[in-house]
Amino acid sequence: MRQGVRFAMCATNAFLRSLGVEIHASGHRRWPDEVKAQAVAETLRAGATVKDVAVRFGVQPNQLSAWRRLAKNGDLVLPALEDDALEAVFTQLVVRDAEPLGIEVGEPKAWSELRIVVGEVSIQLDADTSAARIADIVRALGAAS
């Protein structure tokens, strides 16, 4: 193995270990979901390519593309990047029949709260809660499941 290649591998391994990737003597790596998500998020930055990010993380581009599919399917929660603060954030919306509110006909009812339900967890928020805060909560609930 050439000296430059050996140095590059050592630098990549040191970088990956600093992120929490387990690197076994056999060369097998165990990638935490947070690291996969970080790599996928980096591919979404303006001007980034899957190939360049894959080289940086020391994986094959097809492996990184598989992680991107996981994120697209909702199986991998991506972190918010610094430049995402001003961009819109989207999540799945489940529409179902409304529960009866028990309101008499003609009585006005203003929306004053928002409810997020994931499994057995239910969170109620004020209607004026910012979209960024709601996105943070949904992202955290997705990471916990």
69-121 confidence digits (pLDDT tens): 999 888 888 887 665 555 556 666 677 766 655 544 444 455 677 888 777 77
Task: Enumerate the H helices of the chain as residue ranges.
Answer: 3-19, 33-43, 50-57, 61-72, 131-144
CATH architecture for the domain at 3-80: Orthogonal Bundle (1.10)
Give the rounded percent of residues in the chain with a pLDDT score beyond 90: 19
Q: What is the residue extent of each domain of the chain?
A: 3-80, 88-144
pLDDT band at 7 (very low <50, low <70, confident <90, very high): very low
